[in-house]
Chain A
Amino acid sequence: MKGKRIAAAFLSLVMAAGLAACGGGGAGSSAGSQAAPNSQAASSSAGSTAKKLTIWAWDDTFNVKAANEAKAAYAKIDPDVSVNVVSMAQNDIVAKLNTAFESGNVDGMPNIVLIEDYRIQNYLKSYPDALSDLSDVTKPEKFMAYKLKTMTQDGKVYGVPFDSGVACVFYRTDLIQKAGYKDADMQDLTWDKFIEIGKAVKAKTGKAMLSVDPSDLGLIRMMMQSAGKWYVDASGKADIAGNAALKEALTIYKKMQTEGITVTASGWDAGVAAVNGAKVATAVNGCWYASSIKKASDQSGKWAVASFPKMTNVANSVNATNCGGASWYVIDKVPGKDTAKDFLSKTFASDTALLDSLCKDISLVSTYQDAVSGQNVGAPDAFFSNQPIYKNWIEWTKKIPAVNYGTSTYDIESKMTEAVQSIVKGASVDDTLKNTQTEVEGILSAAG
């Protein structure tokens, strides 16, 4: 009897040891499988806050750098939150956003994403709940109206405006002077004057005035917006055939080509290479282009900035327009929404010190009203002949006509590049635009 009891006790001991041995092998996996549901539970129960934020942006020298500075600033406010800034190509970001929003699955998506102003209307209209309402973060009176308009839908503000895309003429003072013109001639230009100077530059220096890219109609968009027009009207309807501003822009564009003052540079980098390689005397682009121009440090002091040329033949055209520019958005369903909002509200939506240092570091022209008082904003820039460029840009930003970018800017533009080709080849502007109008109406009706 006693023996049996001892035997039973011993057997159970051995079995326990055996189980423990088995448990030893599986410990890693079981711990792993337990950790997974825990983390999920944590993220679903406390989904609005997170200890980790991810930000997607493109352009390492500009947007990504800005995000990293904001990250550093936020680390002082909330050191517990780790921020991961991921640099990606804009096309990749767009592709991933489209996939995520279309499928409704935000796995692997960032908390905060930079979206170009031209594209945001499409997201706001097509995927109404995809992005968080940031009305409590972005104070409308603090930002410039033209920028806010792009991200406002049904009275709610969905983004935090970032950079101004205020356009200007970057010009080589030395080449202009060689062509027989002075800085004063470059102020408040008209396109006629621009072409005239360009011809002189070509004749005197052999260099082109401007590089053009067949696949990028930024110049035409800038011209349109300087007259308060776009491919679509305020109600979002196609506005091509009857768009005098567009027609005039195309005419000017073709004229520059036929007058021989342009050079073709295919792609962004080629355009920059043309500027850095002293192949062109000017670059007409958004202010953010300054960082690319500055890459050619040997050209420091040879550049200056002038306001955007206006179109004489179009009423309402002003010496101010916009090109590009982007804003920060929060993807609503990614866990950590409140942390992301907190991040934005304490950095890009209010931190004037941060915006001021970004002004110095990446030549940011902020669309934050108070940024104008920053000490760096008034500082002269040695590269640009000691011109107080930021102050100029901010002044010009205020004059940018607000337009409705609509939902399909890039879809329309793919049709427009065809149209531009036809026109450059010699087709009638009116006829071409009439055809394009039909095509664009098709795109817009398809888009809904």
Chain B
Amino acid sequence: MCLKKWLRAVHPGRLAVKIACVVVLGVVIVSVFTLGTASSMTKEGYVETMSRSNQQILTMVQAKMEAANDQITDVELTINNSWSFSQYLKFRQENPRAFVLVYDMAKELGAVKPATFYDVAAVGVNGQCYVTNQTSLSVPVDELLSSRVTQDARSSPNRILYRFVRKDITRNSREGSSFVALKALTYPGTRDVYGYAYVVMKQSDLRAFFDNLSNSTNNLTLLDGSGDIVSSMDRSAIGRKDEELARVVRDMDAKNETSRYVILQNKPVLVLARAIPRWNLYAVSVFDYTRALNEQNGSAYILTVCLIVTAAVLAILFFFINQITRPINKLVRTMESVTKDGLPDRIGVIRGGYEVQRLSSAFSIMIEHINRDVHRLLSLEQEKRRMEIHTLQMQINPHFIYNTLTSIKWLIWQGSAEKAVKGIDTFTLLLRSAISDSQKFHPVSEEVKNLENYIFLQKIRFGQQIQTNICVSPAAAGCLIPKLLLQPFLENSFFHAFADRQQGVVSLFIDCHGGGLVCELIDDGVGMPQGKADALVAARPDDECRSVGIPNVSARIRLLFGEKYGVKIFSEPGHGTSVRVTLPLIREGGNTT
């Protein structure tokens, strides 16, 4: 029972289920598209934003490095053009001259460099050296002079070279690598080198270029053309060679690209690069956007929100759909009960929604109209039947009267006046019974009296040869029966069954049987073929004058009581005829059982 109820609740044809399906589908589609779009927009927007901000960061790094380059150039040129530097570096100077020179050198440098500046080391080819910032060389002078970077500077004396060195040059730096800007110092107009000026940038100096600009995702790195990582936020990477990245960056530089998506170390990354040509470096940002997006973790959040919203909308939706369809369902049930149980007198107006209310009130009004019409039709029909019965009774009477009067005339003609008087009396009784139309039904006993009167009248006409027996069961005696119903059958027996002989038996049995009143009239007359008997019953009134009563009676019974009741005739030529009239049991008081 519960399952059935539930099944009915989720029946696919139900309005609620249909609406819910459409809405669920809609919400799911909207959610999926929103999620997809939002996720891709978030990703694109985030990568785009980060890319732009990293470009700006690289621009700032570039600007800082170019500003530093200007200062370094000033310092290098000052040293190159300084008389005191050249004197100090070219010749081994003794105090007090050295004392004065060193002071002048410091003063000249101080004029061009800021108070805090990278370590500057001026080294003469003869081993004389001067280092600023209260520090000293951490590598022997000879080693420094013979190093590759110094040799490079010697071969291009008019340029400032920027080189990554995998060792500390001054004692200030302690990270195992430095970045130097160096220049060979030459006599004016010649290429004879008397010394070198090194501007030594410690790792901390390099980091200052991108300090506060780096974050966990942009991986700012200074990369030199050969792939050496000169400086990086990731300190362990400093000094490592990253040729893969260098190749990408060089290619980007050649093609004038500022950003490119590549796979580095099996990770998809966005590489942004900015060449800083004077430094022979690239400022590179390797943006690991998948990691950054994971850190953001936006899609999971969006998904959760979508799911929650979908669930909430569904819950609300089911609730409201249920609210909407409940009156409709009630209306449906009401209408179903109308088809099953027949029309009620009226139905109540169903509240809960304007449409359903209007619909149910219209339905209710309609039912009232139908009821009213049906009642009117029924009463009309009853009236019509009454009229018909009346008409039929009217049809019988003249026929009977004619026959009876003929019989009495026959008696008078025979001269048996006493018999004729009795006949007229009986006929009078019969007529009174027929004419006194106060009620069309009368008890079986009354009908039997009428029949006896009728038999008496017939016997007057046909003599005593035909024997009649009437048997009425006590139960049937009180039942009601339409007046003069059986008279035509009796009449037919007398007129037709014994038309060619003077003797015969006619028996009438009236009994209650099978919920009905059964009247059986049996004669042993001439009989007729069964087909003719059936035709006799089925014939329309007035078809055949001879048997005018029988179809009338059959029609009367059907009209009054329905098809279930009626007349049946069984007959066989030479053996007699049996007429069975079946009526409902109507007892006095009018109740049909």
Contacts and interface: CB of A to CB of B under 8 A. Distances in A.
A286 to B, nearest CB: 16
B127 to A, nearest CB: 12
B139 interface: no
Given A266-B106, A268-B134, A269-B135, A421 B319 contact: no
A262 B95 contact: yes
Q: How large is the interface on B (under 10, 10 to 19, 20 to 34, 35 or more residues)?
A: 20 to 34
A374 interface: no
A267 B136 contact: yes
B136 A10 contact: no
Interface in A76-123: 91-92
Interface in B104-142: 105-106, 115-116, 130-136
Nearest to A266: B102
Contacts of B308: 17-18, 21
Contacts of A258: 96
B397 to A, nearest CB: 73
A263 B95 CA distance: 6
A17 B312 contact: yes
Contact of B94 (A260, A267, A270, A272): A260
A424 B99 contact: yes
Interface in A7-26: 7, 10-11, 14, 17-18, 21, 25
Nearest to B136: A269
Given A254-B96, A267-B135, A268-B134, A215 B319 contact: no
A168 to B, nearest CB: 22
The interface centre, meaning the residue of B101, B102, B133 with most chain A CB atoms within 10 A of its CB, is: B102
B169 to A, nearest CB: 13
A151 B304 CA distance: 66
Given A14-B315, A215-B106, A266-B131, A272 B99 contact: no
Contacts of B93: 264
A284 B93 CA distance: 23
Contacts of B106: 214-215, 266
A209 to B, nearest CB: 11
A424 B96 contact: yes
A425 B100 contact: yes
Contacts of B96: 254, 257-258, 424-425
Nearest to A213: B102
17 contacts: A7-B319, A17-B308, A17-B312, A18-B312, A21-B304, A21-B305, A21-B308, A212-B95, A214-B102, A214-B103, A257-B95, A257-B99, A260-B95, A264-B95, A264-B99, A266-B130, A273-B136
Contacts of B135: 267-269
A264 B116 contact: no
Interface residues of A, number: 34
Contacts of B134: 267-269
Given A17-B308, A214-B106, A267-B133, 11 more contacts: A3-B323, A6-B319, A7-B319, A7-B323, A10-B319, A17-B312, A21-B308, A263-B98, A267-B136, A272-B136, A424-B100
A386 interface: no
A307 B457 CA distance: 186
A267 B131 contact: yes
A269 B131 contact: yes
A417 interface: yes
Nearest to A257: B96
A267 B121 CA distance: 12
B495 interface: no
9 nearest A-B residue pairs (beta carbon): A214-B103, A257-B96, A269-B136, A268-B134, A264-B98, A267-B134, A14-B312, A269-B135, A273-B136
A270 B159 CA distance: 28
B561 interface: no
Contacts of A263: 95, 98
Given A21-B304, A267-B135, A212 B99 contact: yes
A214 B109 CA distance: 14
B100 A10 contact: no
The interface centre, meaning the residue of B103, B115, B316 with most chain A CB atoms within 10 A of its CB, is: B103
A50 to B, nearest CB: 26
A269 B315 contact: no
B18 interface: no
Interface string B307-330: 011001001100110010000000
A270 B136 contact: yes
B171 interface: yes
A184 B281 CA distance: 61
A25 B301 contact: yes
B102 A264 contact: yes
Contacts of B304: 21
Contacts of A92: 116
A406 to B, nearest CB: 23
